[in-house]
Structure 1
């Protein structure tokens, strides 16, 4: 999960989230499900700082090609620098709703925590379906921010914070639960749908993923929490037994053969 809009999140933040145990686990599973083979043309939609491009390139081999696209020019520049020694990886700035690839030119595609930020998730999935070859595979991963729950003695305060995170920080707050329907409507057949529910039991990891301190400050500034509630909320989360959870939906889909 990420807790800030993708286009404004720094690469360091995205790197830190990708390094957590929860992220590594689902990324490994989806890479295996994508079944990239030598010679494949692979597309990473919303590649961010290029976290997953090297693994994709290793799987596609010297005869394959990996394309990373992102709408943020700063992220593209960072990723191009990181992938400079990878001749089979090409990174470019592009709109996921208008992919710069020919119809049926891609063998495998992935979109990881991207659709929650785009204006039209259905359009993105339609474009991915267009560029995938018949029988091509797609993996998707998105949180469902409406399911975020954080334990606190005052349920109203907890709901105020999670309400802020869902309503103000994410364009498509319930995209996780919508993935199967949107993928099916775009023409994909669903091969696997899972809820890889995230469970956080320490404040440090939650701070990395959810940005608890900065987002508490933002929630207070937006009127979701009072100053008194803010102080008590953070003190409890830091010093008492911590628990937070949210649904995280992954989908493996296939284009029509």
Structure 2
């Protein structure tokens, strides 16, 4: 930890990875300050990518008036209002998150909506009676949990017969960033898969894990977010910040990191990753 602190101290003092390595400032294309979690989730939801896949997930949930729906890993309540509109005042929306700050933000945003309840809870041990929910959703949550199979078992437990779960997760091992040195791309992706995201291959595993948990899986929808603007990509993927972490972890040398980032700013830029929407039913 002391080594990391020293690196970050130098990073902050000298203006970013590029300057720390070479005496030049990090290109303006990159966002060097990490956004706070609430701002980041709001940013993604407001992007074309976020609006598109969230709309598809909402369609696949097939919500009806009077449904009881669970938003598992609801964050700051980004999607709670859309769910509430779909189930109307006759239904109920319950958001769960393990982060109390997120719970507080979600409660503030949904204050006055009697059909919305936000709770602090662990997805591995939901405080919900058996077979009492009609629908559930997880949105980029299972990639981070300690045990996805246990979480899926809990979700199946609380869904009624005929209930539906809709999940959306990326497969980070499919991340492709064009670069003249393809080995740098492979190293960058490997660093994400091994060090940054706990369950980096969860997207491709969702259908199997759901089946192992007792669900049937009628639908798997691949979505391929495509980025051709480095600034847009960086605001979602955190290219510079992730490269900095790769240097700290020993995946990139200083020289390789400089070569990687400097080319990305010169373009043309191309990056893509596969995102899966999986529908599972009880």
* TM-score band w.r.t. shorter chain: over 0.9
Query: Gaps (5+ residues) in structure 1?
Result: 1-7
Structure 2 gaps, min length 5: 1-34
Q: Under a length normalisation based on structure 1, what TM-score does the superposition of the two structures give?
A: 0.94
What is the aligned counterpart of 2:233 among 196, 199, 206? Answer: 206
Q: Which residue in 1 is equivalent to 2:247?
A: 220
Tell me which of 113, 138, 160 is aligned to 1:133.
160
Q: 1:177: which partner in 2? A: 204
Moved runs in structure 1, 4+ residues, more than 3 A?
A: none
Equivalent residue in structure 1 for 2:59, among 29, 32, 37: 32
1:25-72 superposed Cα distances (whole Å, 9 cap, x missing partner): 111011011111111101001111111110000001011110000001
Could you state the TM-score of these two structures normalised by the residue count of structure 2?
0.85
Structure showing greater radius of gyration is 2
The correspondence for 1:156, drawn from 183, 199, 214, is 183
Residues 200-243 of structure 1: per-residue CA shift (max 9 Å, x gap): 11112211111011111111111111112212211211121111
Taking the aligned partners of 1:87 and 1:14, their CA distance within structure 2 comes to 24
2:65 is the alignment partner of 1:65: no
Structure 2 partner of 1:4: none
CA distance in 1, matches of 2:45, 2:252: 29
1:51 and 1:12 mapped to 2: Cα distance?
11
SS of 1:90's partner is: strand
Q: Aligned equivalents of 2:231 and 2:105: distance in 1? A: 26
Please tell me whether residue 49 in structure 1 is matched to residue 76 in structure 2: yes
Give the corresponding residue for 2:26. Answer: none
Establish whether residue 240 from structure 1 lines up as the match of residue 274 from structure 2: no
Q: CA RMSD in A?
A: 1.2
| Offset from partner CA, 1:164-219 (integer Å, 9 cap, x none) | 11111111111011000011111111121011122111112211111011111111
Partners of 1:86 and 1:212 lie apart in 2 by: 38
Tell me which residue corresponds to 1:197: 224
CA contact 1:192–1:251 (8 Å) conserved in 2:
yes
**SS in structure 2 opposite 1:250?**
strand
CA distance in 2, matches of 1:158, 1:184: 33
